[in-house]
């Protein structure tokens, strides 16, 4: 699946009450662990361009398919996908390998997991590198109600919560079309169509923009979601208000060195207040859309490795 000779065959590792499908590159127990956390709807394969480069730089690269994705466990209870469980999986992986701390890297939803792990388990996080999704400060009202008030009922975060099962069924029935239409770059700047964006993408006959990956690469994602379905991964969204409660009494400041990598053409806006919550911060912007490490892999690798080198090894 990940065709570099340096990337090992994945194995199922039992941690935190689930089994995670984990890909690795580099030497285990050689120090310098780095965990790469994918977003939604993604897979460990999203990091295929970064794993060899990081391993060559001396890191033990650990890339889980997080719960609900790939061949990892898909618990039946929605609450088993809250941020305590997702962050707990990363901590349990560190325990499994015997590491006290690691550099954590996240993209999209994976970035949210990384930010939250740095809040909930600061002693286990050495440095933070996140792509696409800046730190999301806690709102005065729960997140879904906040998004509903700002963006309306058709916002997919809201729809996933208010109409459970509806989007799951549509995406399951149209996995290949949905993923082919979603993983695009060089998108035209047009107003969004009415209706829930993810359902629109799953039903659209003609994709916009250009493909992010080859058909063979896309087939990895399609095969994974045709096997797993989308419900487990969508359950991450169905815990946003629960996560809001979990983080109520947590110090909201990220007290670790952090690198934020933006795509200048991403629909997710840059954060004007990021440095207030992440004071030890460096920012890099690349000329790409949302799928940063897949759209511009060499530039992403360079940004990550240069920052880590500037911070001192690891």
**Residues annotated as part of the active site:** 108, 290
- Alpha-carbon distance 94 to 89, whole Å? 9
- Alpha-carbon distance 238 to 291, whole Å? 23
CA 224, 233, 69, 259 torsion-angle sign: positive
- Alpha-carbon distance 13 to 90, whole Å? 12
Identify the residue whose tokens are 């911070």.
311
Quick one: CA torsion of 148, 288, 65, 197, rounded to 10 degrees?
A: 30
CB 126 within 8 A of CB 256: yes
Task: Taking each helix axis as running N to C, give the angle between helix 175-182 and helix 215-228, from 0 to 180 degrees, rounded to the nearest 10.
Answer: 130
- Alpha-carbon distance 212 to 296, whole Å? 10
DSSP one-letter code for 7: B
- Alpha-carbon distance 53 to 26, whole Å? 10
Q: Cβ–Cβ contacts within 10 Å for residue 6, how many? A: 15
- Alpha-carbon distance 111 to 117, whole Å? 10
Q: Cβ–Cβ contacts within 10 Å for residue 100, how many? A: 10
Identify the burial level of 272 via C-beta atoms within 10 angstroms of its C-beta, where 0-12 means exposed, 13-18 middle and 19 or more buried. exposed
- Alpha-carbon distance 220 to 241, whole Å? 32
DSSP one-letter code for 191: P
């Amino acid at each position: 699946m990940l065709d570099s000779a340096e990337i090992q065959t994945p194995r199922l590792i039992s941690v935190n009450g689930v089994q995670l499908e984990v890909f690795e590159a580099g030497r285990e127990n050689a120090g310098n662990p780095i965990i790469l956390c994918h977003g939604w709807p993604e897979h460990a394969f999203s990091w295929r361009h970064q794993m060899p480069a990081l391993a060559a730089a001396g890191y033990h690269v650990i890339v889980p398919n997080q719960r609900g994705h790939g061949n990892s466990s898909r618990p039946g209870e929605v609450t088993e996908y809250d941020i305590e469980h997702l962050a707990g999986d990363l901590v349990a992986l560190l325990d499994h390998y015997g590491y006290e701390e690691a550099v954590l890297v996240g993209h999209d939803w994976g970035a949210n997991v990384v930010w939250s792990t740095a809040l909930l388990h600061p002693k286990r996080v050495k440095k933070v590198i996140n792509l696409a999704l800046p730190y999301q400060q806690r709102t005065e009202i729960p997140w879904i109600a906040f998004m509903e008030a700002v963006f309306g009922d058709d916002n997919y975060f809201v729809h996933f919560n208010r109409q459970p099962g509806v989007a799951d069924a549509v995406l399951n029935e149209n996995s290949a079309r949905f993923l082919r239409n979603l993983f695009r770059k060089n998108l035209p700047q047009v107003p969004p169509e009415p209706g829930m964006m993810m359902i629109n993408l799953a039903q659209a006959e003609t994709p916009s923009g250009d493909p992010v990956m080859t058909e063979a690469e896309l087939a990895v994602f399609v095969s994974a979601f045709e096997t797993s379905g989308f419900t487990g991964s969508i359950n991450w969204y169905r815990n946003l208000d629960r996560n809001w409660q979990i983080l109520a009494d947590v110090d909201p400041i990220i007290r670790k060195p952090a690198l934020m990598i933006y795509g200048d053409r991403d629909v997710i806006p840059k954060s004007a207040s990021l440095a207030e919550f992440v004071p030890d911060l460096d920012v890099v912007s690349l000329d790409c859309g949302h799928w940063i490490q897949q759209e511009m892999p060499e530039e992403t690798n360079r940004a990550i490795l240069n920052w880590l080198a500037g911070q001192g090894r690891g």
